[in-house]
Amino acid sequence: MNYQQFVIVVKNEVALALGDDLTLQLHTALKNNGVVRTGLTIIDKRVNISPTIYLEEYYKQFQEGFEIDDIVQNLLEVYREVKFEHAWDVHAVKDYEKMRSKIVYKLIHAKRNEELFKKLPYIAYLDFAIVFYILFEVDDSGTATIPITHELLELWNVSLDDVQQNAFCNAPLILPACFKPMQIVIDELMGTNYSEQEPIEDLMYVLTNSLRSFGAACILYDGILEKIYEEIGENYYLLPSSIHEMIIVPESNSPSREHLNEMIAEVNQTQVDEEEFLSDYVYYYNGYIKALS
């Protein structure tokens, strides 16, 4: 069964499982780095906002031997976790004064998103682009966001500079930076406490935000690069391992910049999901002149 056939089969099975109270639509979206994804939007007429569950990961499960019935049950379980229980005030989105305190931003690759920029305003930065979004709420099931489009800017009747100023003020407060040795981050993800029992040799660090979502943008937080320099006590390299984090490597622990570029390119090709790719280019922070190059 190819992917298109899989999508139709899953859609039909989910529709049967949902019954008459909910309706289902196929949704195709252009995502980061030109990735096009197909999802199921499950619509509850009592609520004016509907989650979309993308199917690519479920197709991988099918290819690995999962039964369709099990995949449908997994998908429905995800829906129960992420569905919205109450209607949203959609008119509030049209009110810039109500939204300005919720505006934040993320970093994406510039050249790979030229098609996306037909809809999204952006600010160029190095080989990245800064794009903006409204962060509505954060809970255990995830986040609710809306991208800031050219259309929304026009509706608000504000400039991109206005949006940028608000986003740069909001992001460090709403999504505070998190800077830790990589071993501690690994221990936290694995649920282990090795770092408490053995001394850690801080060869690499991870910079992200409190949600570990779009955390690479933390490099733009006011003073953060200088604070990292002061904490590790030397110049360092920044490896854009994904849109979600930067890996910090002190210069004294690092191979050559050329080798780092080769390493990050290989990791991107073999281990990073295409939608989460940020850059193959390693940056260097010089604390003496307070510059990133």
Any idea how long the chain is? 293
Structure confidence at residue 207 (pLDDT): 96
Structure confidence at residue 8 (pLDDT): 92
Structure confidence at residue 194 (pLDDT): 54
Task: From first to last of the 293 residues of the chain, give the pLDDT tens digit.
Answer: 899 999 999 999 998 888 777 888 899 999 999 999 999 998 887 777 788 899 999 999 999 999 999 999 999 998 888 777 666 666 788 999 999 999 999 999 999 999 999 999 999 999 999 999 999 766 655 567 889 999 999 999 999 999 999 999 999 999 999 999 988 877 777 766 654 555 556 689 999 999 999 999 999 999 999 999 999 999 999 999 999 999 999 999 888 899 999 999 998 889 999 999 999 999 999 999 999 99
* Cα gap 6→26, rounded to integer Å: 13
Q: Token digits for 98?
A: 């109500």
Backbone torsions φ then ψ of 263, nearest 5 degrees: -65, -45
Q: Percentage helix, strand, coil, to 5, in the chain?
A: 45, 25, 30
Structure confidence at residue 138 (pLDDT): 67
Which residue ranges make up each domain of the chain? 3-82, 90-173, 177-292
Residue 97: alpha-carbon gap to chain centroid: 25
Beta strands in the chain (DSSP E): 22-30, 36-44, 52-54, 103-109, 123-125, 128-139, 142-147, 177-181, 205-209, 236-242, 245-250, 283-286, 291-292
Q: 65-93 burial string, b = 16+ CB within 10 Å, else e?
A: eeebeebbeebbeebeeeebeeeeeeeeb
Pairing of strands 22-30, 36-44: antiparallel
Structure confidence at residue 84 (pLDDT): 72
